[in-house]
Amino acid sequence: MFSNDDYESVLLRIRALMMIMLGSLLFLGMVLWREQVLNAYKYETSLDRQSIRRVRLPAARGRLFDRNGVCMADNRPSYCLELYVEELRESGRISNTVDRIDHVVDEIAEVLGLIRQTARKDISMHLSKRRPMSLLAWKDLDQEALARWAESDVSMPGSSNYISGVDIYVEPVRCYPEGPTAAHILGYVGRVKKGQSGKDEDIDYYLPEMQGKRGIERVMNTTLAGEAGGKLLRVNASGFKYDEEKRDSLPAVAGMDIVLTIDMRIQRLLSKALKGKRGAAVILDPSNGDILALCSSPGFDPNDFSPSITQKQLDILVGGHKPLLNRAIAEVYPPGSIFKPVVALAALENKKATGSTSFNCPGYFALGRTRFRCWQKRGHGWIGLKKSIEQSCNSYYCQLGLRCGYEAIYHMASAIGLGQRTNVELGIKGVEPEARGLLPDDAWKRRVYKDAWRKGDTCNLSIGQGALNVTPIQMAVVSSALANGGKVYRPRLIMRDFAVGSNEETVSSGYLVNDLELSAETLRLVRGGMHDVIHAKSGTGKRAKIDGVEMAGKTGTAQYGARGSGKQHTWMIVFAPFNDPKYALAMIVENGDSGGRTVAPLIKEVMEGVFALEHDA
């Protein structure tokens, strides 16, 4: 029998135990509430971070059009065969799934008669790095393969040949309908890799997205690319996709179309004329600086880069005659005699010469023991300024340059845009930046050669030789300024960067950089001499003459390399029609015979085509 004291003691201990148990349950409840309710968002976020994969969805790339609405860069559908790896996974080790997918690829290849594009190592790599995404086993299927797919029962559930987890995926691929014709203007695109954009660090996967690598594609990439969208994939513990969060998907915004100043009809003419040659040419509208055509030869086909280029093709493009180089803006050449009109402008505007200024040409000009030879070995005799342009007399311009002084020539050449970039859009973000060329002066020579400027340097400068270097687009600007009376415009390629059909006004006034404010007499003499270059019987550019159109021009043959090497580049600048210029052109052909014999016939071919287009319009 328990006494009352024992009974009370036991009861007290039971109550204490119940209090302890109740307190423990209350504490456990509070902990569970804190973890499951108070901290639920933190764990949910952590769970999402482990089970959600973010996928970037590229936007449709904007198109490029010429000034007349001709599509120069477009997007075409590329049909790919994709495998949904989550539907093909096998239990056990990941190698089992690799075996299964590898077997399915073999099955499809046999049924559809396709050559495998995806190796076993590609499958392993995909499962290692892109497991939630579908695997593109074949890309860019041709119409025959698509027909076999449609006619087979591979995609029909219940058929004997049915293969689960296989479908056709349409991938947009950049295409260039004109092929190589405007390659150096348009450039090309390449795939964007994760991290290249410098943003979207939280993105796990990128669907195939293209980025401009050269030309307008690169310069205007942001406008053309639009705004990428995105979607969320939910994956299981093994990393395979099992659901898609469609409510949180963000649609992509298509890129804007861009209208260029190029006239593809003229661009085709220029490309045809330079085919098979090394050189470049640019045609401007002298009223505003619009680039109507720009060509560099040899060229390349930008379609070779879409969707990707082979190493063999790339090796060809980066070697040899450097077809990727845009010679029109990024290569420099001595201008030779096409620089002489600039010297004439400097002399006339600085009152160092008039239309009656004459010098004797015995076939050379002697400066001490140095002889600057004229192309006419027997000499031109006494010759005036206008005739000197027609005949391109070296002796005359050596004497005119010395009378004028190199400072006046330098300032005129600088004012007309030489020795500096034109700032054409292609050179702003291009892979090969626009070249400045070189307009030498005393300070330059002292810095480079530790020597003062001498009279011989002035003679070399006056005939477009020596250290003087220019780009074809700079000389097109010179030709344009001579055509329009002295206004120097910045060459322009982009007319509009909004959708075709927009009501926005197109900028047509151009970007005026400088106005030389040339006198009427200066223009009459220099332009008159250039007119005779083409239309006089003895003009050096007479092979450029076409029926029914008056033109003005200047030929040039520029030596380069070691003295006596015989290497020379051949030039011609032209503007037309003479009294109402609509076109200003500069063309160079590397290692030609002479400007008059090599380039003038090509100019004729191009300008005949240009005015035929006007007649047919």
User: 547: how many CB neighbours lie within 10 A of its CB?
Assistant: 6
Give the separation between CA 108 and CA 82, rounded to whole angstroms: 11
Which residues does the chain have with pLDDT short of 50? 43-50, 198, 201, 237-239, 241-242, 498-507
Residue carrying structure tokens 């008669």: 113
What pLDDT, on a 0 to 100 scale, did the predictor assign at position 239? 46
Please name which of 196, 226, 177, 151 lies closest in space to residue 66, comparing C-alpha atoms. 177
Model pLDDT, residue 280: 98
217 within 8 A of 73, measured Cβ to Cβ = yes
How does 498-510 read in b/e, with b if 16+ C-beta sit within 10 Å? eeeeeeeeeeeeb
Here the tokens at position 504 are 């926005």
418 by DSSP, 3-state: which? Answer: coil
Specify the length of the chain in residues: 617
Going by C-alpha positions, the residue among 210, 344, 263 that lies closest to residue 70 is 263
> Which residue, among 377, 603, 590, 378, has the nearest Cα to 476 in the 3D structure?
603
pLDDT at 20: 84
Burial of residue 15, with CB atoms counted within 10 A of its CB: 0-12 exposed, 13-18 middle, 19 or more buried: exposed
All structural domains of the chain with their residue ranges: 53-260, 330-490+506-616
Find residue 340's DSSP bridge partners.
Answer: none
Q: Report the C-alpha gap between 259 and 257 in whole angstroms.
A: 7
Nearest to 422 by CA among 474, 469, 482, 495: 474
Burial degree of 577 (CB within 10 A; 0-12, 13-18, 19+): middle
Residue 462's closest CA among 328, 323, 344?
Answer: 344
What's the pLDDT at 253?
Answer: 82
DSSP state of 125: H
**Cβ atoms of 256 and 216 closer than 8 Å:** no
Q: What is the pLDDT of residues 49-77, one digit of tens each?
A: 445 655 566 788 999 999 999 999 999 98
Of the candidates 443, 140, 84, the one whose C-alpha atom is nearest the C-alpha of residue 306 is 140
Among 358, 580, 357, 557, residue whose Cα is nearest residue 463 = 557
Q: What is the DSSP letter of 115?
A: -
Q: What DSSP line would sit under 176-218, residue for residue?
A: -TTGGGGHHHH--EEEPPTTTTS--TT--EE---EEE-SHHHH
The counts of H helices and E strands in the chain are 21, 23
Calculate ∠ Cα 403-475-600, nearest 5°.
Answer: 100
Report which DSSP code applies to 541: T
Confidence (pTM): 0.85
Give the C-alpha separation, 278 to 319, whole Å.
14
Superfamily of domain 330-490+506-616, CATH level 4: DD-peptidase/beta-lactamase superfamily (3.40.710.10)
For residues 158, 160, 161 and 166, what is the CA-based torsion angle, rounded to 10 degrees? Answer: 20
Q: Is residue 6 within 8 Å of residue 12, measured between CB atoms?
A: no
- Sort strands 279-284 and 291-297 into parallel, antiparallel or unpaired: antiparallel
Confidence at residue 448, expressed as pLDDT on a 0 to 100 scale: 96
The amino acid at 128? S
pLDDT value of residue 151: 79
What residues contact residue 217 under an 8 Å CB cut-off, 6+ apart?
64, 73, 174, 186, 187, 188, 189, 224
* CA gap 84, 50 in Å, rounded: 21
The pLDDT, as a whole number, for residue 84 is: 77
CA dist., res. 111 & res. 104, Å (int)? 11
Give the pLDDT confidence of 213-254 residue by residue, as tens digits: 999 999 999 899 887 776 655 555 444 544 556 666 677 788
Q: Which CATH architecture has domain 53-260?
A: Alpha-Beta Complex (3.90)
Predicted pLDDT of residue 445: 96
Q: Residue 235's pLDDT is what?
A: 52
Residue 202: its pLDDT value, please?
Answer: 54
